[in-house]
Structures are given as structure tokens and as C-alpha cells.
Amino acid sequence: MSETVTVNELATHDSAHEPTATGERADLLEALAKHRHFLRFTTRDLTDEQAGCRTTASQLCLGGLIKHVTAVERTWAQFILDGPSAMPDFTTMAEADWARRADEFRMLPGETLGGVLADYAEAARRTDELVAALPDLDATQPLPKAPWSEPGARWSARRVLMHIIAETAQHAGHADIIRESLDGAKTMG
């Protein structure tokens, strides 16, 4: 049986456990929180089945987008701490590895929208705590091996956080189109 996730259930952010961040960190975390909200808001009042529906030519669905953004945020936050060892060597991935990665973009049997949203809230909480506690946003790590990475490039914690913000905002826009195609609902407007 599918349950509907309501707007109230989307408000999983607990301000009592909010990390203390000031200045630039507070600004970056505020921008990220805004885009997380827009992404989560696209799933309001949906059933698990609706969250797994493809409504465009793309393979993307709302639940899958949230799963993907969760994985991106979790992995890049770990990268800030551990560098490229937090990620696979994308240059050596086989077809089966790419197929498993594609599962990150869809709702799989047994997954629920509530579960996907709870996992996202946990990843967000951990990222927020990490950013608030980092000794230096300028600390860098070498990028992992990937066809899209410039050889020898390094990213600072700040740049990683800006990448997470950009990914979240981009996918919130995708989610808005998918939701409007599903039932006409829009995030804004």
C-alpha cells in the first residue's frame, strides 16, 4: 500500500540540532537549505508510486532524483574529509558498475518516498554539521579519477560545497518539471 507524503512530513529539519555557522558558512548552508527545500517540496502529497513515475522522455523520477542528490551530497561531503578515496575510480568502472549507479536515479522495489526523504534529511544533517565544524574551507583535496575531472585538479571544501549547492539547485529544477508533468503542481508560480 502506498502512503502519501504530506507537506508537514517534508519539514524534517530540526532547528534544535542545527549546527552553529556564521559568516560565509552560514550563507552557504542557507543557500543549500533553500534548494533542498525546493527539491523536497516537489514531492508534497505524492504516493510512492507517483514518486517513482517517469513523466518525461528522461529516465528520471522524483524519488530517484532525491536518491541521486542524497548520494551526491553524502559522497562529496565524505570527499571533503577523505579526498578521492571517498569516490570510485570512474575511469575503471565496468558496465555493471554503471548499471548499479543508474539505480540511484529510480525508485526500486521496496523503497518508499518517506524512506528516501528520511535518508536525504540524514545526509543533509551530516553535511551541515561537517561544514559548521570544518577548520578551514580553503583546505583542498585532489579530485578523483574521472573522465570529467581535469588531471591534477584540486577542490577546496568551499568549492565542493558550492558544487553540492549547484547539483541540488539543478535537480530541484528537473524535479519541478517532472512534478508539473505528473499532475500540474509547481514548486513556485
**84-137 residue pLDDT tens:** 999 888 888 889 888 888 888 999 999 999 999 999 999 999 999 999 999 999
Q: How many CB atoms lie under 10 A from the CB of residue 8?
A: 8
Grid cell listed for 154? 584540486
Grid cell listed for 108? 526500486
Return the pLDDT at 39: 97
Using CA atoms, how far apart are residues 26 and 90, in angstroms rounded to an integer? 33
pLDDT tens-digit series, residues 49-80:
999 999 998 889 999 999 999 999 999 999 99
Q: Give the global pTM.
A: 0.88
